[in-house]
Chains A and B, each alone.
Chain A
Amino acid sequence: MELKDKLISSFLAFEEACDVDSDIHNLRCEAIKEFETMGFPSKKQEAWKYTSLNSVLKYDYSVFPKKEDAIEYRDIKKYLIHDIDTYNLIFIDGIFSSHLSQTTHDKIDVCLMSSAMAKPKYKGIIDQYFNKIVSKENGFNSLNTAFAREGAFIHIPKNIAANKPVQIINFATGNESALMIQPRNLIVVEENAQIQIIERHQSLTDHPVLTNSVTEIFAAKRATVDYYKIQNDRPSASLIDNTFIDQKDDSNCSMHTFSFGGKLTRNNLNFYQRGEHIDSTLKGITIIEDKQHVDHNTLVHHIFPNCESHQDYKGIFAEKSTGVFNGKIVVEKEAQKINAFQSNNNILLDDSATINSKPQLEIFADDVKCSHGCTIGQLDEDSLFYLRSRGIPLKEAKALLMYAFANNVLESVKIPEIKKRITHQIALKLGVSLGFDL
């Protein structure tokens, strides 16, 4: 059976375990119909022109994994930022693991979507925010909504800065020969509140995994959200990440995406600026090789005046890897005095690597500063010679230049441990010791 048909028929079984009388379930039912009509995106659609899903959709994924709790902290410790104190929401094959997680309801809520959906206390928030900004542009979003049941639920009330970051980590154990997971996260940050979030998807074996994740983030007036996605999965795991961020006046949201692994990764990242004096930051470092594919599809929608957006994506592509950057900026007619900056710089290490980079600017206002630039190049020969003349061997010299190339993206990372981990990861990726601590 095709994956699409399998999913549609699985929905009936899924319903049996749901509260079918809830409002959410109505949304699910609508969503499965949408998915039935739309199906999965195909290369015929402009937005998916350079990303073929054939190699990902061909597996017979199981949709309802058996409950399996055999994972111990020591098995997963290395995937966590463990040298600082954090709240942890850990999911194993899509199922929440209470013994590996650390949740809270003290001043802030860091807990599970399933329990938030079930408790009357959260009904107000769910009604107000759930599924309000998810686009229906591709079937993945509707599919996720249809099966929405588990994921992270984070609520930071007015004037509160969360006392520590939250890590949301989805592990796939490989107990199933092929597994599809659909996390659904809702993050509501009220007026003048602050939160830092780290998200990761990690497969523990080489069995195929497909994750279709949807995250909605609401940043109210003067709220600050710093979000870090660490994508360094095994070559058998693919990720379709759909993230929607709604910002109000004077809010500040940043998203850093570090893509170092996985088979196919598609990041659909959407920022909606619904207020004035908003700052949005979208940054990414991609370093991949060997038939890996990373596609960044960003949208920044400037709806109100006096706002800024900063996009800076760096990519390094080795042997046969492929990258896509599709950055869309829309500035509405009323959105005057916008400063929208976008840059996408790429290094191809090999003739067999490719990158397709396309900015898309739709600007209807006239008083707008909008700059965008895209470069695709190789490492600079004169720089290499300079480094080598100082005794730095070719391989290290290349690595040093690549590190230097990607480095400025890290400047805006606010959690030092992440910066450390990522720089270390970059050095590992480049396969060298650079002779100094990164």
Chain B
Amino acid sequence: MLKIKDLHATIEDKEILKGINLEINAGEVHAIMGPNGSGKSTLSSVIAGKEEFEMTQGEIVFEGEDLTELDPEERAHRGIFLSFQYPVEIPGVSVTNFMKASINAHRKSQGQDDMPANEMLKLIREKSELLEIDRKFLSRSLNQGFSGGEKKRNEIFQMAMLNPKLAILDETDSGLDIDALKVVAKGVNKLRSADNAVLLITHYQRLLDYIIPDVVHVMVDGQIVKSGGKELAHELEERGYDWLRPENAI
């Protein structure tokens, strides 16, 4: 589904990603762990098409199509979804209206008309119940004044609404209490199917107890230095990252 080859990316002439190779197949869950500042969020932004980062080398192919020239919205239309580590606050636009704008933009890109109002309402109700989101919440301005956990839950609500092919969750578990974590995991697991894939970025193996990954990667200084099964997450939890830093590698 997603093939990343020798990806290098810079911001303001500083190289952040230094040759990433990553292949995710439909039906799989991958996790990326790694120290602060190693480039995990950068990788997710680059996949989602953030223009501030410059891809200097390599390629990103999604379902056989080179993404390099595609705008963020075009990538979204193809089924890529990014749950932000720091969701942006947009005062003046309600969660509901934002979701309508988003869903209808997706439909338009597929040549479909706007979703009928009753269908939209039904979908919103179903997904907000799945994520145990209070209805009052939906009429509030997007992310404005939301607690850290509420923002994250709202991201997963959006994911559930859009039903993407590839969901990249950038530290969606950070700041969640244990109940919220279970709710979010339920939302993610509901999305999982033979046709979808999930890329989890996390610092805690705790999340991986609920969403079980097929592959765990370790990212250090802009490179994936090690990949393994889910037991790798446990090892990282115990040993930290130092043993994986290039200068310590044997």
Chain A residues with CB under 8 Å of chain B are 380-383, 385-394, 396-397, 400-401, 403-408, 434-436
Contact = CB atoms under 8 A, between A and B. Distances in A.
B193 interface: no
Interface of B: 45, 48-52, 71-73, 75-77, 81-82, 84, 87-88, 90-93, 96-98, 100-106, 108-109, 114, 141, 158, 162
A396 B105 contact: yes
Given A392-B73, A392-B105, A405 B49 contact: no
A389 B48 contact: yes
A385 B50 contact: yes
Contacts of A435: 100-105, 108, 114
Contacts of A381: 52
Contacts of A403: 92-93
A406 B93 CA distance: 11
Contact of B92 (A392, A393, A405, A436): A405
B88 A391 contact: no
Contact of A404 (B93, B96, B108): B93
A390 B162 contact: yes
Nearest to B50: A385
A355 to B, nearest CB: 20
Contacts of A406: 92
Contacts of A386: 84, 87-88, 90
Nearest to A407: B92
Q: B96, B101, B141, B158 — which one has the most chain A CB atoms within 10 A of its CB?
A: B101
A285 to B, nearest CB: 12
Contacts of A393: 71, 73, 105
A401 B90 CA distance: 8
B92 A394 contact: no
B93 A394 contact: no
A356 to B, nearest CB: 25
Contacts of A436: 96-97, 100-101, 104
A398 to B, nearest CB: 12
Nearest to B103: A435
A390 B84 CA distance: 11
Contacts of A400: 90, 93, 98, 101
11 contacts: A385-B48, A387-B101, A389-B76, A390-B98, A390-B102, A393-B71, A400-B98, A403-B92, A408-B91, A434-B101, A436-B96
B71 A394 contact: yes
A391 B99 CA distance: 10
Contact of A391 (B52, B91, B106): B106
10 closest Cβ pairs, A-B complex? A404-B92, A435-B104, A391-B76, A436-B100, A407-B92, A388-B72, A435-B101, A390-B102, A386-B88, A391-B105
A385 B141 CA distance: 18
A288 B100 CA distance: 27
Contacts of B103: 435
A392 B90 contact: no
B74 to A, nearest CB: 9
Contacts of B50: 385
Contacts of B98: 387, 390, 400
Contacts of B49: 388-389
B71, B82, B90, B91 interface centre (most CB from chain A within 10 Å): B90
A422 to B, nearest CB: 14
A40 B96 CA distance: 51
A389 B105 contact: no
B72 A385 contact: yes
Contact of A392 (B84, B96, B101): B101
B109 A391 contact: yes
A396 B109 CA distance: 13
A224 B72 CA distance: 49
Nearest to A386: B88
Nearest to A382: B88
B88 A388 contact: no
Nearest to B100: A436
A163 B102 CA distance: 42
A329 to B, nearest CB: 25
A389 B72 CA distance: 5
A388 B71 contact: yes
B73 A404 contact: no
Contacts of B88: 380, 382-383, 386
Given A385-B51, A386-B84, A435-B108, 10 more contacts: A383-B90, A386-B88, A387-B101, A389-B48, A389-B81, A393-B71, A403-B92, A404-B91, A408-B91, A436-B101
A405 B97 CA distance: 15
A426 to B, nearest CB: 11
A391 B73 contact: yes
Residue with the highest number of chain A CB atoms closer than 10 Å, among B45, B51, B81, B98: B98
A27 B38 CA distance: 78
A392 to B, nearest CB: 5
B140 to A, nearest CB: 13
A390 B49 CA distance: 12
Contacts of A387: 90, 98, 101
Contacts of A404: 90-93, 141
B90 A391 contact: no
A427 to B, nearest CB: 11
A208 B77 CA distance: 47
Contacts of B52: 381
Q: Choose among A380, A386, A397, A408 the residue with the greatest number of B CB atoms under 10 Å from its CB.
A: A386
